[in-house]
Amino acid sequence: MSETTKLKLPKPELFEGEVDFPEMIKKDFRKAVLIISLTALSTIVLIGALWALAFFL
Amino acid sequence: MLDEILVIRESIPIFYYNRDPDRAMSNDWYILQSGFFVALSSFANEMSDDKLKYVVLENKLYALDEVSDILVIFGDKEKMTQEVVSKLQGEITKAANYLSYLLDKHDLDTFVPSPSQLKEIANDFGDYLKQENLVEDDSPFDPHESRSMMQKFIFKSIGYTPGQCNIGRAERLKRLLIGMMGFVVAIIAAFLIVLFNGNPWLMLTLAVPLGMGFFGLYQYLFKFCVVNGLTKKYDMH
């Protein structure tokens, strides 16, 4: 195959952008909610433990 | 979106070609579409350096290289390697020539084409591809299910996976740093409370720095930015 007929794939440079597929948006949303929930839960548990420690000791 | 693309690429029109069930008159009815993927204009700009023209049809992307007169097809089922393209060389060249012929026929190299011209080319090219059996997946287009090859290609290349990873290394480290700062502030504040006051209720004020700490840490661990996830964005830097 000659030099000119080599397959050229487009080089992606779009490292940031917007997502416009509904199911992708849904998946991202679920993950975001999961992280927020985990954060809230972890914070509550740790604060509870710290409070108990300070209260009883 | 089409206007934007055409403005950026000026003399090189971009066609996003697909079948739209809402507008389809019959199974043979094809239309040209644009604007399905947000990043097309930048991609088109990138490709314009190599004088590429491309057409996306159903699950395939047909890219016409003017220099080599080759129509590159990105397919879902078969990886488009040089070998595969070589095997398809005859058909590809024919399809490329046919598309070139259509573009020349409608004189689309020098000005912004009208919607009727685009529709006409889409119909002609669609007929040709079907006649030559170059279209494997001819199922009706569903914008909710269908993926443009271009968008998939971009996402896969940069590592964005919906629901799993929407930030790159630099962004992750930023969040880890913010998280660690939160924990450090919380630890210092806890020591100060114990040292000077001892009131257990004051411990509740640590919720803010601790929350910040966990928020940053989880985002780092999950490779996922919550704000991006909620605002439909990704940043893979």
- Dump pLDDT digits (tens) for B66-96: 444 344 444 444 444 455 555 655 665 676 6
Distance CA B15, CA B33 (A): 7
Instruction: Count CB atoms within 10 A of the CB of residue B144.
Output: 7
Name the residue type at position B17: Y
Q: Would you say residue B167 has pLDDT above 50?
A: yes
Q: Could you tell me whether strands B31-33 and B15-18 are parallel, antiparallel, or unpaired per DSSP bridges?
A: antiparallel
Q: CA angle at residue A50 from A45 to A52, to 5 degrees?
A: 95
Nearest CB neighbour to B65, from listed A8, A14, A21: A8
Please say if the pLDDT value at position B172 is more than 70.
yes
pLDDT at B228: 93
- In the predicted model, is pLDDT for residue B230 greater than 90? yes
pLDDT of res. B58: 42
| HSE, side-chain direction, 13 A CA sphere, residue B25 | 5
DSSP assignment string, A23-56:
HHHHHHHHHHHHHHHHHHHHHHHHHHHHHHHHHH
Q: In what order do the strands lie in the sheet with B31-33?
A: B31-33, B15-18, B52-57, B60-65, B70-74
Could you give the ipTM of this predicted complex? 0.79
H-type alpha helices, B10-114: 40-48, 82-87, 89-105
Are the Cβ atoms of A35 and B224 closer than 8 angstroms? yes
A6 to chain B nearest CA, in Å? 7
pLDDT given for residue B131 in this prediction: 73
CA–CA dist B120, B48 (Å, integer): 24
| Chain A, nearest residue to B209 by Cα | A43
Q: Could you tell me the sign of the dihedral formed by the alpha carbons of B24, B30, B31, B33, in that order?
A: positive
Q: What is the mean pLDDT of chain B?
A: 63
Query: Closest to A42 (Cβ–Cβ): which among B151, B198, B214?
Result: B214
Comparison of pLDDT for A33 and B50, the residue scoring more:
A33
Structural tokens at position B158: 């940069």
Beta carbons of B224 and A31 less than 8 Å apart: yes
pLDDT above 90 for A40: yes
H helices of chain B, in order, are: 2-9, 40-48, 82-87, 89-105, 115-131, 149-158, 169-196, 207-222, 226-230
pLDDT at B97 over 90: no
Q: Which residues of chain A are within 8 Å of residue B97 when distances are taken between CB atoms?
A: none
Comparing CB atoms, the residue among A11, A24, A43 nearest residue B210 is A43
- What pLDDT is attached to residue B16? 38
Please list the residues that pair with B74 across neighbouring strands.
B61
Q: Above pLDDT 70, what percent of chain B?
A: 38
| pLDDT above 80 for B158 | no
Please tell me the distance from the alpha carbon of residue B203 to that of residue A42, in angstroms, as a whole number: 15
